[in-house]
Amino acid sequence: MKKLDVKDRKILYELDVNSRQTNSGIAKKVGLSKQVVGFRIKRFIKEKIISFFYSVIDISKLSFTVHKNFLRLQNLDSGKEKELIDFLINHPNVVWVASCDGKFDLAFGTWAKDMAFLDKTITELNKNFGRYIAERQIATIIRGDYFVRDYLISKEKPSPYRESFFGAVHAPVKMDRNDWKILVSLGKDSRITAVDISKEVKLSVDAIVERIKKLEKSGVIKHYNIVPNESKYPYIHYKVLIGFRNISEKREISIREYCRTNPNIIYIVKSLGSWEFEIDLEVEDAEQFRDIMMDIKTRFNDILKDYSALHIYQVHKYNFCPSIQSSIQAQIIYKNKK
């Protein structure tokens, strides 16, 4: 794994705070020239330290909900596993794909307008790869929250809470086809320039900038951050699936605040399924992970029922607006309901 120096970590931190900020903007904050910042970012990409520059899109405003699928696989070789992963990566309704060790071998998220939409996607998967699936658990995301990677710069106090989340309660925002095209472009790469988007969407750069501001103001776009490449990034990614018992609103607020202020916790999900919470951590080693989990078990022993830890060793896809066709269909349904 690549060793990161202090300046590398500061640049990665700034990209995680806002991956669309300019090189010159980052340079002022980290004490380097914009040329050096640009060079280092290019190196992150070339050396595959960063997999994706990610746009956090609140898909509830697109009339979608995310459903997580966790699979335990059977009777397949590496070639067939790659075929399955490629199928999911290329599927227009799959927003996230990750390989993992632990109770499950593969996890992926699908977006769906309704249960019939979800069933169609799952049926397609079963038709092609059902015989290789030994177990499947599905959890519907009620809300997902992203936190700043404070561990990169060893901050004494956590970064201010950022409104960087997506939900499950549909609150559609009216958009036209060009807005959708912009979202699809930003879904692929949050650092894509307005100039490059204008070439794809066939609008002026000023019009693109205005539309992006409108999408941000309406809450469709929540934030821009990074997705590291676990195979090169010098931190280990764990996802913990947690079941609670008799959790009150007060205790839920407590665990959310604990997660927000822990510098190694980068993402939490409240879900409806076999577990109530997912907590994603990035740590230096397994010992640090065990220490954090011991702290969680001690602090929340009154509500913690059980948990299962997955080691996420490769994220293959991370794009919450992967398909303009599905998006347009959802918007048509929204208009018809109006």
Per-residue pLDDT band at 327 (split at 50, 70, 90): low
pLDDT at 171: 81
Whether the predicted pLDDT of 192 surpasses 50: yes
Does residue 211 carry a pLDDT above 90? yes
Q: Specify the range with the lowest mean pLDDT, choosing from 11-15, 200-204, 260-264, 330-334.
A: 330-334
pLDDT in tens, 215-231: 999 999 999 999 999 99
Q: Can you read off the two tokens belonging to residue 157?
A: 């106090």
Rounded to an integer, the average pLDDT of 259-278 is 94
Could you report the per-residue pLDDT of 17-34, keeping only the tens digit for each?
999 999 999 999 999 999
- The distance between the two most distant Cα atoms of the chain, rounded to a whole number of Å, is 57
What's the pLDDT at 163? Answer: 61
Report the pLDDT averaged over residues 240-248: 94
Give pLDDT, residue 172: 84
What confidence score (pLDDT) does residue 337 get?
A: 46
Separation between Cα atoms, residue 279 and residue 92, nearest integer Å: 26
- For domain 1-47, give the fold: Arc Repressor Mutant, subunit A (1.10.10)
Q: pLDDT at position 157, please?
A: 77
Give bridge partners of residue 308 from the DSSP assignment.
241
Residue 297 has pLDDT above 70, yes or no: yes
C-alpha to C-alpha distance for 193 and 196, rounded to whole angstroms? 5
Query: pLDDT digits over 306-322, tens only?
Result: 999 999 999 999 998 87
* Per-residue pLDDT at 158: 77
* Percentage of the residues of the chain whose pLDDT score is greater than 90: 82
Confidence of residue 270 (pLDDT cuts 50, 70, 90): very high
pLDDT averaged over every residue in the chain:
92
pLDDT digits (tens, 9 = 90+) for 109-148: 999 988 898 999 999 999 999 999 999 999 999 999 999 9
**Confidence check: pLDDT of 332 > 50:** no
Is the confidence at residue 39, as pLDDT, over 90? Answer: yes
Predicted local confidence at residue 334, as pLDDT = 41
8-state DSSP, 285: S
Residue 262: per-residue pLDDT: 94
Q: What does the DSSP assignment read for 113-149? A: SSHHHHHHHHHHHHHHHGGGEEEEEEEEEEEEEE---
* Closest to 224 measured CA to CA, from 113, 327, 321, 311: 321
Specify the pTM: 0.91
Higher pLDDT, 170 or 217: 217
Query: What mean pLDDT do residues 84-90 have?
Result: 96
Phi-psi region of 63 (alpha: psi -120 to 50; beta: other; left: phi over 0): left
* Percentage of the chain exceeding pLDDT 70: 93
